[in-house]
């Protein structure tokens, strides 16, 4: 599946890719991207300072034709070690949330705003988000899901270009470039605030209905 580029950020990103010697996205004179091409670019990316401390780039995984994409914040320690998203305690909880929709992890696609771990799991910085965002925009443009579920405030704010608290926007349905976007809590937050899990279950029920609609 290809992704025709019409986004300014992604165009700049493509120019950067070309500078890295990756130009296999040009097909029949038209600029296109594929998931393997951007995964390859991310693997060696040094567009922000997180490249210096990461052990692995955590690009994302799952079905590249998924109807549902989960977007989290950034890899944690275990994700950085394994190079896979949501594999620690928060990942186990995310698996349980996905099961409540009646799906399996391999049916959906899971990724983060940042592809590299911030030291000590600190919040992502604005410059890091700006540098990394084209990967996420490209992933979503290629997968073309029916619904995007943002996990926590950073994913929501990054995709919608706002600055909201998750407690204000959780459970709200928004439009992201013609795709439904539902905001829910980050599983790490749910591990620390277990009284909120019922709201997350309600969000999974909503996702199930949206996917059926």
User: Count of CB atoms within 10 A of residue 188's CB?
Assistant: 21
Residue 46 is a binding residue for ligand SF4 (CB under 6 A): yes
Grouping H, G, I as helix, E, B as strand and the rest as coil, residue 142 is helix
Residue 159 binds ligand SF4, judged by CB under 6 A: no
For the CB of residue 195, give the shortest distance to ligand SF4 in the complex, in Å: 33
Q: DSSP states of 76-121 as a string?
A: -HHHHHHT-SS-SHHHHHHHHHHHHHT--GGGSEEEES-SSPPGGG
The yes or no reply on residue 113 touching ligand SF4 (CB under 6 A) is: no
Of the residues 71, 114, 180, 181, which one makes contact with ligand SF4 according to CB under 6 A: 114
Does the protein bind ligand SF4 through residue 47 (CB under 6 A)? yes
Secondary structure (DSSP) of 14-61: HHHHHHTT--TTEETTEEEE-HHHHHHHHHT--SSGGGGT-SS----E
Stretch that binds ligand SF4, among 26-34, 47-55, 141-149, 170-178 (CB under 6 A): 47-55
CB of 139 to ligand SF4, least distance (A): 12
Phi-psi region of 160 (alpha: psi -120 to 50; beta: other; left: phi over 0): alpha
Binder among 10, 14, 37, 45 for ligand SF4 (CB under 6 A)? 45
* 116 counts as binding ligand SF4 under rule CB under 6 A: yes
Binding to ligand SF4 (CB under 6 A) within 13-42 occurs at 42
Q: Which stretch binds ligand SF4 (CB under 6 A): 27-35, 50-58, 155-163, 199-207?
A: 50-58
- Closest separation in Å from C-beta 134 to ligand SF4: 9
Which residue in this structure is represented by tokens 């038209």? 30
């Amino acid at each position: 599946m290809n992704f025709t580029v019409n986004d300014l950020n992604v165009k700049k990103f493509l120019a950067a890719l070309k500078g890295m010697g990756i130009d296999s996205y040009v097909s029949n004179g038209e600029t296109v991207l594929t998931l393997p091409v951007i995964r390859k670019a991310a693997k060696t990316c040094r567009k922000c300072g997180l490249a210096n401390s990461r052990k692995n780039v955590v690009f994302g995984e799952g079905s590249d034709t998924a109807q549902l994409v989960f977007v989290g914040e950034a890899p944690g320690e275990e994700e950085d070690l394994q190079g896979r998203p949501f594999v620690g305690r928060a990942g186990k909880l995310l698996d349980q949330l996905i099961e409540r929709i009646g799906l399996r992890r391999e049916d959906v696609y899971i990724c983060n705003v940042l592809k590299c771990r911030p030291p000590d799991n600190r919040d992502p910085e604005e410059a890091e988000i700006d540098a990394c965002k084209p990967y996420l925009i490209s992933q979503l443009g290629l997968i073309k899901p029916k619904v995007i579920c943002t996990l926590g405030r950073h994913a929501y704010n990054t995709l919608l270009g706002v600055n909201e608290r998750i407690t204000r926007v959780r459970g709200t349905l928004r439009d992201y470039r013609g795709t439904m976007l539902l905001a829910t809590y980050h599983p790490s937050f749910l591990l620390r605030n277990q009284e909120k899990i019922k709201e997350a279950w309600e969000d999974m029920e909503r996702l199930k209905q949206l996917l059926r609609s």
